[in-house]
Structure formats: structure tokens, C-alpha cells
Amino acid sequence: MMLHGIERLVDLVGIRHSGLTGATAAQVHEAIQAADVETLRGTDGHFAGVARHGQTVRLARTIGCPLRYFVAKMFHGPFLVVSDRIDHLYEWCREQKIGWQFDPMYTRMIPAHYLVEIDQIGCPDPAPRYHRFFEPVDGAGSDDIAEIGAAYVGAAYTALKNWLADIAADETVAVAFSGGIDGSSVLLLARKALMELGRDPGKLRAFTLDLGGGKDAEQAREAVRELGLEAQWEVVRVPAERINLEEAIRVIEDYHPLDVQCAAVALCLLEAVRERYPDLKYLLDGDGGDENMKSYPLEDSDLTLSSILRNPLLYQEGWGVDAIKHSLTYSGGLSRSYVRTYAPGQRYGFNAFSPYSVRSVIKEAVALPFEKVLNGSVERLYTLKQDVVKAGVKAVTGIDMLVAPKRRFQDGAGGENYKQWRVSKAYCRQVFLRQWEERLREAWDPEGERISGNDLNVPLPTATP
């Protein structure tokens, strides 16, 4: 039996957006409710939201706004509970005294760039239906590096300027700055955008983490000296012993080792910045730049040059929702791993944004005819991003940007210490499961109060935060 006419959607976060253009937040919410894919397609920037239409719940998101759901079983029927985090879903279930139903692996992450429909029709739960609202054309752009760079960085500049335009003019904006290609370009683009908006570029503050022994601090120092921006730059020195992989796993609720390491380092940086600047709200970084230009060492994975060229959005979305490798609990690519930026920022009260993660910029990256430009050369793949971004920054700002060697965030900040954090996926997954075992033990406490889904006397759960 299922009781009809009862609101069984519990939205714990509401509509969220960042740097959104092409529609208002209210219009995005209406489009999600009506399954209006064309309106969603016409936007840029980030959003995430959920709405119900009859017995159908619809959810949609972009890379920068994680969104998850869990189907809770109550006498009134299945309740679809939505949030940005697994632990928030669990906390709601605990409040309803049905925490014993919960398992983190039963939660589902909405894949970026999809409108997902779920019918609330009882057991068994029906399979979701997926509708894409982002379909960039592969390889249709110029093979001229100057033209590629101007289009790609130009799109990033527009996205960044739109994000800054929504921020009060007197707000200081932090930039996570290693002196690398993506972070340096973001700093330069943000300065130009603030000047074009008639604001003080001195409101930018660049921060470089130094865990001892890393090369980023010296690299960043050289970059700001070259640009004459030393007065807007700070080194944040944190003892390497502060790195806590288990804390990072708890914060990002994931267990991919490289994302765990990156998040652990980000937590060190943001905690220290928050201590120095209690009122700082906004944070820029270059996350997504590597994914867009496919700038990852292939020898670190089971990927080949052929596999990444034949799957244009592999690094942004994973193998796709129809692939065998698609996870039910997580989405793929940056759609999944963006929590390494989102969750640490959220933990310390920052509104984080990267212009390289929005669809207009990804579109320009996908348009790059990689096969023609690379001509089968893995070595050329490893130098391509620096050439494209340097050319683009020159076209947009007129500045010849220094190009530093590519390093991962955790490597550049930690140097030799980084070797101590290189743990396996099996280790990270064991930590993740152990943490949840400890939490779930409370919900299964035989002395605690638990409610059966068949209990007729249970009041209706709260449907809104």
C-alpha cells in the first residue's frame, strides 16, 4: 500500500548555483520540474536542483555543485531524500529513526550534465532515466594553437568575469596559487576581469601552500615577482605532519587516492587561510584545467592515448552512464572528483569556483582536434596544455605568462613528504568503510529507538529543510 497525494520529496539543500548565466535560479528550478532540457542547455556556470512533477522527481546538476539522493522506505511510500553530501542524508534518516536502513553505497550521485528522472511508484524502485543537456561537438575547432588558446581561455575569462560580477565589490577573493599554468592563468584573468568591472584588482589575494620541501613556493615566488604582484601573495607554511588522509576521506566521502591526497593538502591550505582571514568567503582555483586538456600522465593509469581520444568527455564525466564501468554510487571523472575542491571549501566556509569547470570552457576544449594536433604523440600531449593556455592568456590579457613544470598539487606542496601519502585505493576504501561502520553502529544500537517502515503511526517526515 502507498498513500498518494503525500509529498515524498525531501530536499535538504534547495537550488544552488555559481556563476550562472542564461537563466535565473528560479527559471532553472522550473526547467528541472518541467524536464525542459533546452532551457538547461542554454545556461552556463553551475547549478544543481531537484523538483517533483506528479509522481516523478527530476534532478539535474553541473560539475561544480554535487547532488546526491537516497530512497528511504516509509509506510507512506518511498521518500527520495536529496542533499549534496552522504552524511547529510544519513543525518536525516537518523532524525526519522530509520538510520538502520541507510548504507552509503545505496546513495546515488547525479552525473553532471544530465537531467535525471525517477518515478516514485514503490518497490522495486524503478531505474532512473537520463537526459543530456550538454552535447559539445568533438574536434570541430581550429588546429592553430593561437586560435585554440584564444577561444579556450577567452571562454574561461567570460565565465570568471560573470562569477566575479555576482560578488560585492568590497569582497576580497582568494586564489589558490602554485605558480602553475592553471592557477597563474586564473590569477591574471581575475585581475583583468576586476579592472574591466571597475573594481580594485588589489582585492585578489594569492596563497601558496608549503608543507616543507615542495617546489611550489619558489615557483610561485618567481611568478609573482615576474608579474609585480608580490604584495598580493602569501606563502602558507604548514607542518607536513598536519596531512591527515583519514580526515580527507571523511570530508570528501570518497576513496580515490589522488583525490584524497589533493583534498588533504587543500584542507591544510584552507584551514590556515581561514585562521588568517576569518571573513574571507570566495576562492578561485584552476581545477578542471588538466581534465580539459587531457593533461595527465597515462603511465599512472590503465588509460591509453586511444581511449582518451575516443572518449572526448572521459576526464570530465567518466565512461558514461551507459557504460559497464559506471558506478551507481558515484558518477565519473571530474563530475565525481570535484568534491576534492567543493568539500574542503565548504568545510571552511568558502565559495569555491574554477572557470575551467564550466560548460562553455569544456566545449572549447572538446572542440580541439586532439588527434590532428597530437599526431599520435604522447609527448606532445604533455606539452599541449602549456602552449594553449599561454597563447590564450596572451590573447586575452596581453601578458606573456611564465610556464612552470607540471606537478600535482600535493607533490608541489609537499615534495619528498608526498611519498608518505601515496597510498592505495584499497587502503582508502577500507578507511571509508570503517568510518561508516562506526557511524552506522549507532543507528543499529539495539538500545536505541528505531522505527519500522511498516509503522502506521509514524508522523510524516519533514519535506523541506
- Tell me how crowded residue 85 is: count the other CB atoms within 10 A of its CB: 21
- The whole-number pLDDT of residue 450 equals 72
Question: Parallel, antiparallel, or unpaired for β 114-119 and 129-132?
Answer: antiparallel
- The whole-number pLDDT of residue 160 equals 98
Are 48 and 194 contained in the same domain?
no
- Whether 445 maps to a domain, the answer reads no
Final residue of a structural domain among 66, 99, 134: 134
**pLDDT above 90 for 326:** no
Are 213 and 66 contained in the same domain?
no
Are 294 and 410 contained in the same domain?
yes
Mean pLDDT taken over the chain = 91
Average pLDDT (433-444) is: 93
Give me the percent of the chain exceeding a pLDDT of 90.
77
Final residue of a structural domain among 134, 162, 195: 134
- Tell me how crowded residue 82 is: count the other CB atoms within 10 A of its CB: 23
- The whole-number pLDDT of residue 405 equals 72
Q: Domain holding 423: CATH number?
A: 3.40.50.620
- The whole-number pLDDT of residue 6 equals 54
Average pLDDT (199-211) is: 95
**pLDDT above 60 for 226:** yes
Are 120 and 84 contained in the same domain?
yes
Domain hosting residue 416, numbered range? 145-428
Among 67-76, 118-127, 194-203, 359-368, where is mean pLDDT lowest? 118-127
Nearest CA to 352 among 196, 170, 179, 207? 207
**pLDDT above 90 for 454:** no
- The whole-number pLDDT of residue 322 equals 86
Average pLDDT (158-177) is: 97
- The whole-number pLDDT of residue 443 equals 87
**pLDDT above 60 for 465:** no
Final residue of a structural domain among 134, 168, 183: 134
Average pLDDT (357-383) is: 96
Contact 303, 210 (CB under 8 A): no
**pLDDT above 90 for 73:** no
Are 304 and 357 contained in the same domain?
yes
Number of folded domains that form the chain: 2
Distances (CA, A) of 150 to 30, 79, 365, 390, 422: 35, 48, 11, 9, 37
Are 112 and 173 contained in the same domain?
no
Are 212 and 78 contained in the same domain?
no
Contact 418, 77 (CB under 8 A): no
Q: In residues, how long is the chain? A: 465
- The whole-number pLDDT of residue 302 equals 84
Are 232 and 123 contained in the same domain?
no
pTM, 2 dp: 0.93
**pLDDT above 90 for 323:** no
- Whether 373 maps to a domain, the answer reads yes
Are 319 and 383 contained in the same domain?
yes
| Model confidence pLDDT, tens digit, residues 387-418 | 999 999 999 999 999 887 766 656 656 666 66
**pLDDT above 80 for 48:** yes
| Model confidence pLDDT, tens digit, residues 330-365 | 999 999 999 999 999 999 999 999 999 999 999 999
Average pLDDT (86-103) is: 94
**pLDDT above 80 for 124:** no
Give me the percent of the chain exceeding a pLDDT of 70.
92
- Whether 313 maps to a domain, the answer reads yes
- Whether 196 maps to a domain, the answer reads yes
Number of H helices, E strands in the chain: 18, 14
- Whether 438 maps to a domain, the answer reads no
- Whether 421 maps to a domain, the answer reads yes
- The whole-number pLDDT of residue 40 equals 98
User: From CA 452, how far away is CA 454, in angstroms rounded?
Assistant: 5
- The whole-number pLDDT of residue 460 equals 59
Q: Domain holding 41: CATH number?
A: 3.60.20.10
Residue 214: pLDDT band with limits 50, 70, 90:
confident
Are 345 and 199 contained in the same domain?
yes
Are 322 and 190 contained in the same domain?
yes
- The whole-number pLDDT of residue 3 equals 47
**pLDDT above 80 for 447:** no
- Whether 24 maps to a domain, the answer reads yes
How is residue 316 written as a grid cell? Answer: 570530465
Instruction: Output the DSSP codes for 119-158.
Output: E---SSPPPPEEEES--PPTT-S---HHHHHHHHHHHHHH
Are 170 and 62 contained in the same domain?
no
**pLDDT above 80 for 270:** yes
- Whether 163 maps to a domain, the answer reads yes
